[in-house]
Structure 1
Amino acid sequence: MQAVTSPSALPSAEALFDQMADAVYLIDPVTSAIVWGNRAAWAMLGLSREDVLDHSVLSLQLDVTGLPQWSEIAAAIRGQECFTFVGRHRHREGHEIHVEVNTTHFCLDGHAYFLSVARDVRRRMALEKDMQSRENQLWFALNEAADGLWDWEIATGRLFFSPQLKRMLGYSPDEMEPVLATWSDALHPDDRQVVLGILQAHLDGKRVRYEAEYRLRNRNGRYLWVHDRGRVCERDGLGAPTRAVGMVQDITARKELELQLQQLASSDTLTGLPNRRHGERFLEAELALCRRLGLPLGVCFFDVDHFKRVNDSFGHLVGDTVLQQVAEQAQASIRRSDLVCRWGGEEFVIISPNSNRAQLLQVAEKVRKAVMALAGTPRVTVSLGVAAFPEDGDDVEALLGVADGALYRAKTRGRNRTE
């Protein structure tokens, strides 16, 4: 290929226009007649040069009909530096060609002209439609995978809640002010500090992602359990987070099932009291806390006197009823901070944090008298043995041993008493 050495060697303007992929039309603004065009002006439409030149541009259009409408468009073209119009051209074979037309106006030798450049945008529209379809599919998939999406513009404080998230919380699409406080104010008071701490740790770069399970208040005031996860997706030039996105899933049903299973695992099915396993864990934890804080702790062993006679004389169903009644009286006699659990058979244990021996003896006597006052047949009594930390022992085994020994003394000294 030879280098161009002079302007005379350059191709003509018309030859250059004929190499363009876009159609170019020179139009009479008054009559709408096409007075000149490049090769693409007719080839794009499957027409010949004679089919296009000296014909009205309206003959090519599907969206502009009649001179009155052309006059309105012509006035708009004159009022702008470049007028953009998106419409449809008619192909010779009858199908539509979507075009984007950019038109400028100018005067030359005392004549006014419009110069329109029409670009076939069918491929671009197909790509945009495909992208929109994929975006819609992704949005749908995310919405189906979660019960709601959120998008937080950290710099402005604006927080977008998806319609599905609003629906999950019982709100209409036009409710829930799009600010962070709408969400943070709905956090359960017991969860708020932990959840906000996890979120801040992620914003500070101390966690790879934000993820938490917590309770969120819905419109009716009921708290739903949710699994919330997200991450920062945009940062500014200094690395500060500016945008975070995430999804929320309603896990209330799962949480309620977990709590039910935990309840079953830690509860006695007959009396509804905590079982021995739960009691042992509670005693270990509370003893460690009292030891650290220098507080007392009391343990009381008690059982139903002559319970074998009750079963032998009245049957096991009556015996079960007796145990349920004894459990109810014991539960009603202790403080809210205390725990009474069924240890096994007819044996029960009361664990009383921050109670000395004298205080626990009062609780034990309250239980004994409440059981004595039970009406009906058979009439039963209980014997109780008390141990106190720190004077009777420094560990769980020692305290239970002292309490069991005190219960044995109560039995040998006549039953229906506290030692």
Structure 2
Amino acid sequence: MHPETVRISSVPSRPDSNILLLALEATGDGIWYWDVGSDETFFSPSYYRMLGYEPNAFPMTGQSWLNRIHPEDRHRVLEENTRCINNPEKTLQVEYRMLKKDGGYAWILCRGRCIDSNETGKAVNMIGTTTNISDRKQMEHELLESVGIVRTVIEESPFSLVVTDRETNRILHVNRRYLQMIGRRREDVVGTICGVFSHVPESVRNRLTYLLDRNGSFDDEEISLAGKDGDVRSFSVSARIISLAGRNACLAAFQDITRLKETEATLALSEERLRLALTVTKSAVWDWNLKDDTTYFSPQWYTMLGYAPGPVGSDLKAWSSLTHPDDVKRTLEKARKTIQYGNSYEAEFRMRAADGSWKWILGRATVSARDQDGQATRLSGTNTDITSIKQLEMELRDAQSFLKTLLNTIPSRVFWKDTESRYLGGNSKFLRDTRLPSEAHLIGKTDHDLPWS
């Protein structure tokens, strides 16, 4: 005998019925026996325990068993029993709900077969097992519920979805939006062999296929598709190679972005117009977040002063550091009044340019956002370079001063009127000779209004 061979002579070659019963009881399954003619039954202890009862807690009869089956399941269970009784060679397998001691129901899988039949060929004795499958049923319910949710999500998705078999190019599934996108019926699409990008122009189809083959996925590729009516719409396409029931498949999603592209184009046009308007008027945009005291200055805000965007800072301190010391307090006070009272803000102040010179700036703003209590949270506005205007004003004042000096130097009476004979002014010689205290007593009047009339 081989040294590793061990003879076990104490184990019987055929277990007796008690051993088989104990083995079956150990699984938690119940055992039943039914004498069809007398309606006498036998239920094993585990049969009772799986329902929460102590052994022999209810009578061992077929009627007692039937009374504990859920009303909605009884008819179906009786039909299965009758089928097996009339066809003894058939096996019984049926699932149903059975009343437990706590008032709830347990899902039961009942299996059985005929072990004896009469001269008419009908079963007279049956035997079988019962298994508590409540956990499995709960899992099935949750799975079906999840599948239902997934199907609903897919079908009602805002994206057009299509799934194809990678090897055969057969379309496996499409949702409602996809059918609307291509203008076809589900029965004319599902099952056909045409590929995931079949409705896309060839040049675009080749590009998308290349990306998918190379990377296994791609996102947000923009394409244009023409509908049956010739209307061209824009789509964003994403695709993935996925495993579906053991086979390679492709999932593609198409999102109609036509309105988004139109909005982007409109916004871009508006921004371009605003940029041109700000450029022509030498204006820059700024925004002050009053909640966290941060500011935004547009690129023109910097270039207006000769700086590159960013380096000088982007907060209120940056503005203060560049503003003329004589103008900071006055300008901020106007801004605070606008924030407090909601009136429009307008202020002229000087800012230091990159070359060290001072530029005159006209700032205009308004409260652009408020919180739920009505408190201002943002102040938005523009800065306009008015240095040239200020220079003209200065030159005009100088010219007026020179002209005034010149006229007052002339030894003759000089005055000037508008087209309606109202006085606009006069030199000092004219005022002295007419005995008027000042030019203010002359301006806007006619000869009929004056003492000499």
TM-score calculated relative to the size of structure 1: 0.50
TM-score calculated relative to the size of structure 2: 0.46
Larger RCO: Structure 1 or Structure 2 (Cα < 8 Å, ≥ 6 residues apart)?
A: 1
